[in-house]
Amino acid sequence: MVIVVGGGPAGSSTAFFLAQQGFEVTVLDRARFPRDKTCSEYLSPQASRILEAMNALSEIEQSGAAQLAGMRVHAPNGATIHGEFAADHGFRGYRDRGLAVRRTILDSILLNRARDAGACVEEGVRVTDVIRSADGTVTAPVYVTQGSINSASVPPWPAPALTHYAKITSTNGAPPIVTTDGSNVPGKYNYLGCLEVTASVSQGFLVGLTNALAETVVSQFGDHLIFDRMYVHGVNASSTVQMTRGFLVTGSNISVVNSYVSQIYSSGGDAQAILGAHGPGPYLIQNNFLSASTEIIMFGGTGRTPGYSCTIAASPAPTTTTATVNTCIDFASGAVSTPAVGTCAMFYIGSAYTPANWVCITANSSGALTWSPALPSAPSTGAGKIKYGMVPADITINKNYLYKLPSWNSAVSCVLGLR
């Protein structure tokens, strides 16, 4: 296999001609095309010969390329040179005219020709090094995808040195660490660090800050919890032992920092290194290596946020800024108060909830609500026509390495080493 690093004109033409000759070629480029490139965008008449050989000339000519009859060069002292490509100097190029075309267009067309010839093109892949055999021969590139690295499906940096880490391994099907009710770890003002956490049987999550997502009021959530230098991991990809989440966090003042989460995957659905469900935050996710087969970090998505709803009275008729509500319930149908001033909510308008028109309650006089900004039209009346709740908020995600093993991407058939 030939690996071409860089999918500019040099890389794509090399890949094209090698692939045409039957070589197995993979092009790796750190950019995603169309990508721009500093250039005067001039193609000489002779360049057209190569473009034609790549079956690209007519597409480039039809792409809006300017036709250049010649060139005029201006020197700082005012002198000029003028030349025509087709003149009585006797030389004729492949075409009588040159071309001027945007590199976003030219380079994309050439890369597509490489693809057409059979080359595999991986965009967003930055080569950082090469691996050599004992005699110095280059055997493989080390490359980075989406900010992370792959060398023979090995994560970018090794798991933490574990000599001094205590290890918790769940073997009975229960998550290794759970806080709040039924917990083995107090869920308020706690610090867990330098722990290896794993399981030998499949888990929905390895570290859970929730009581089965049943929290309905802020006081039930985990609060002021710091996870620092944790090594939370599943096992090598397997159809039978799968960890769907590293951390399942709900709560307030939750930090996951300086930690390493790996081998989190599910063949049956989405998997995340960190799933933040319906706690109010703030959350800090910083300086971690996070690897999972689907979202890697996801907030919401539990189907329970926002979890509260009320009935909107038909009389007085709601307007774009007012409505009267009663009978408010949480997602477990328990009675709760009408939304307090400051609560932000989503109304049902016409035939749907409109999250894009999220508004905040500015006054609540015995269920008579006023909000701002105004909705595009008055909300519908009836049960469940306003929703609100503990939407995860104030989330800081900073300086993390997010990584997916290419082998987890079944849609990519030509990832290095997996073809």
CB of 82 to ligand FAD, least distance (A): 18
Q: Extract the tokens encoding 400.
A: 């993390």
CB of 100 to ligand FAD, least distance (A): 8
**Shorter beta-carbon distance to ligand FAD: residue 99 or 271:** 99
**Shorter beta-carbon distance to ligand FAD: residue 4 or 168:** 4
**Shorter beta-carbon distance to ligand FAD: residue 312 or 416:** 416
301-333 CB burial, b ≥16 within 10 A, e <16: ebebbbbbbbbbbeeeebebebbbbeebbbbee
Give the residue at shortest CB distance from ligand FAD.
Answer: 8
**Shorter beta-carbon distance to ligand FAD: residue 5 or 344:** 5
- For residues 248, 250, 254, 255, the Cα torsion angle rounded to the nearest 10 degrees is 20
Torsions phi, psi for 356 (to 5 deg) = -70, -20
Q: Extract the tokens encoding 70.
A: 């010649």
CB of 14 to ligand FAD, least distance (A): 9
**Shorter beta-carbon distance to ligand FAD: residue 123 or 270:** 123
Residue with tokens 């960890």: 243
Q: Extract the tokens encoding 155.
A: 């994560």
CB of 115 to ligand FAD, least distance (A): 15
CA 217 to chain centre: 31
Q: What is the CA radius of gyration of the chain?
A: 30
Q: Extract the tokens encoding 253.
A: 């003042």
Residue with tokens 């110095």: 136
**Shorter beta-carbon distance to ligand FAD: residue 118 or 124:** 124
Torsions phi, psi for 58 (to 5 deg) = -70, -35
**Shorter beta-carbon distance to ligand FAD: residue 18 or 313:** 18
CB of 116 to ligand FAD, least distance (A): 18
Q: Extract the tokens encoding 110.
A: 């050439």
Say how far apart CA 268 and CA 347 lie, in whole Å. Answer: 33
**Shorter beta-carbon distance to ligand FAD: residue 35 or 188:** 35
- Where on the chain is the footprint of ligand FAD (CB under 6 A)? 5-11, 28-31, 35, 37-42, 126-127
CB 115 within 8 A of CB 100: no
CB of 175 to ligand FAD, least distance (A): 40
Say how far apart CA 223 and CA 101 lie, in whole Å. Answer: 58
CB of 125 to ligand FAD, least distance (A): 6
CB of 28 to ligand FAD, least distance (A): 5
**Shorter beta-carbon distance to ligand FAD: residue 6 or 118:** 6
Secondary structure (DSSP) of 177-224: EEBSTT-SB--EEEEEEEEEEEESS-BS-SEEESSTT---SGGGS-EE
DSSP state, 94? S
CB of 409 to ligand FAD, least distance (A): 19
Say how far apart CA 226 and CA 183 lie, in whole Å. Answer: 16
CB of 58 to ligand FAD, least distance (A): 19
Q: Extract the tokens encoding 407.
A: 């082998």
Q: Which of 70, 72, 63, 69 is nearest to 103 (CA)?
A: 63
Say how far apart CA 41 and CA 221 lie, in whole Å. Answer: 59
Kindly state the greatest CA–CA separation across the chain. 94
Q: Extract the tokens encoding 243.
A: 């960890």
CB of 55 to ligand FAD, least distance (A): 18
**Shorter beta-carbon distance to ligand FAD: residue 42 or 191:** 42
**Shorter beta-carbon distance to ligand FAD: residue 103 or 188:** 103
Say how far apart CA 251 and CA 189 lie, in whole Å. Answer: 12
